[in-house]
Amino acid sequence: MKKILATFAVSGLITMAGTTAQAADYVGSDQCFQCHQEKYNDWQSSGHPWKLRKVDKARSAKLPLPPGWSWDDLSYVIGGAKQKARYIDNEGYIVTTAKDGSEAKTQYNLQDGSWSFYHKGEKKPYKCGPCHMTAYNKEGNQDGLPGMIGTWAEDGIGCEECHGPGSEHVAKPAATNIAINTSVASCGKCHQRGGMGPQPPAKGGFIRHHEQINELMAGAHKDLSCIECHDPHKKAILAKNNCVECHSDIAEKYAKNIHSQQGTTCVQCHMPKVTKNAIKVSQFEGDVRTHIMKLNTDPKVSMFTTVKKDGKKSTYAEGFVTLDFACLSCHGSRDREWASKYGTNFHGK
């Protein structure tokens, strides 16, 4: 088992009592089940432990494999819970070709059953730490495989990635010897791209994936913490429907709107799928809901801006959602001018 050599004051993990936890061993998430069955079961279905799995676990999901590959040729599967699955060969490299080396689409997209290219033909090492595993150390090679960059205590996001090593807590359960950190920064270790700043990088007309913190910071709810809407043990889609707690006046007006009466909820307009993880469903619909939330009803404004620095162009999302994503993903036969006309003062109509 691995040791954590610094206190949680250094790593940012603080106990409920406010004291820092000292060095302890990582014991694995299965040790948590005995006392925390409900939380453990929520976590199992959340997708976090699916971020990386050895083939002996992943093969039971009955995922299809890239051309020519068998389960015996593979060591790990990346993802495979909801959006996409990628595969790692027995040397630790991500599969980017057919088994015979010929060109092939090797990323499987669960939502529509399609396949996509992923770094086509490259020899691609697996260097996705620290966001796909627990207790990542950038030194060494997991399982001694040359393509696996770094080592870790547990595949996927286990309990101890957020709560810290649990040997002392398992030996003597107490609130004072396990880490509890509910800060945005704790989630932002993984749910951001390029830092915690409010500039969500974009590409191909969509925000790039795993940028929830960047989106949150760019939008109107930057002062909220993740746990005000999410239970981190549960699937993201099981977020609390608590918009009315702050926006009761708007909710009262919206209740009379035909969209409300047909069941259209706040998130469908204010958190449309502006982000693309695996696929785009249509021109204005990706596969992940944005956390920007603020709408801009100006039909002329663009949601994306491109800047040039040191000779390199980068595209970012602005701090608002435009009407093409908010309205036209459903009203596909309309245009922005129509959406602006009917979207202004929308809640009171």
Q: Determine the structural domain holding residue 245 and report its residue range.
A: 202-348
Record the pTM: 0.89
* 8 A C-beta contact, residue 58 and residue 79: no
In a shared domain, residues 75 and 147:
yes
Which domain-ending residue is among 156, 182, 211?
156
**pLDDT reading at 15 higher than 60:** no
In a shared domain, residues 146 and 216:
no
In a shared domain, residues 135 and 235:
no
Q: Give residue 115's Cα distance to chain centre.
A: 20
Give residue 343's pLDDT: 87
What mean pLDDT comes out for the span 129-142? 97
Nearby residues of 25 by Cβ (< 8 Å), 6 or more positions away: 1, 2, 3, 165, 166, 167
Residue 329 in domain: yes
Counted domains in the chain? 2
* Helix (H/G/I), strand (E/B), else coil: 215: helix
Residue 176 in domain: no
In a shared domain, residues 211 and 344:
yes
* pLDDT band of 309, cuts 50, 70, 90: confident
Question: By C-alpha distance, which of 305, 268, 318, 270 is closest to 291?
Answer: 270
Residue 16 in domain: no
In a shared domain, residues 207 and 342:
yes
Average predicted confidence (pLDDT) for the chain: 91
In a shared domain, residues 328 and 215:
yes
What mean pLDDT comes out for the span 312-321? 96
In a shared domain, residues 143 and 278:
no
* pLDDT band of 22, cuts 50, 70, 90: low
In a shared domain, residues 225 and 129:
no
In a shared domain, residues 212 and 322:
yes
Rounded to 5 degrees, φ, ψ at 21 are: -85, 140
Which domain-ending residue is among 156, 188, 214?
156
Residue 179 in domain: no
**pLDDT reading at 1 higher than 50:** no
In a shared domain, residues 343 and 210:
yes
In a shared domain, residues 137 and 267:
no
Residue 197 in domain: no
Give residue 111's pLDDT: 95
**pLDDT reading at 227 higher than 80:** yes
Nearby residues of 312 by Cβ (< 8 Å), 6 or more positions away: none
**pLDDT reading at 9 higher than 90:** no
Nearby residues of 336 by Cβ (< 8 Å), 6 or more positions away: 299, 300, 322, 323, 324, 328
Cα–Cα distances in angstroms (integers) from residue 276 to residues 22, 23, 164, 211, 288, in the given order? 40, 39, 31, 10, 6
**pLDDT reading at 21 higher than 70:** no
pLDDT, one tens digit per residue, over 80-90 is 999 999 999 99
| Strand 154-155 versus strand 133-134 pairing type | antiparallel
* pLDDT band of 348, cuts 50, 70, 90: confident
Least confident of 134-148, 165-179, 245-259: 245-259
What mean pLDDT comes out for the span 173-197? 94
pLDDT, one tens digit per residue, over 25-65 is 999 999 999 999 999 999 999 999 999 999 999 999 999 99
Residue 21 in domain: no
Residue 17 in domain: no
Q: How many residues are present in the chain?
A: 349
Give residue 349's pLDDT: 63
Which domain-ending residue is among 132, 156, 180?
156
Residue 140 in domain: yes
Give residue 17's pLDDT: 35
In a shared domain, residues 140 and 230:
no
What mean pLDDT comes out for the span 5-22? 37
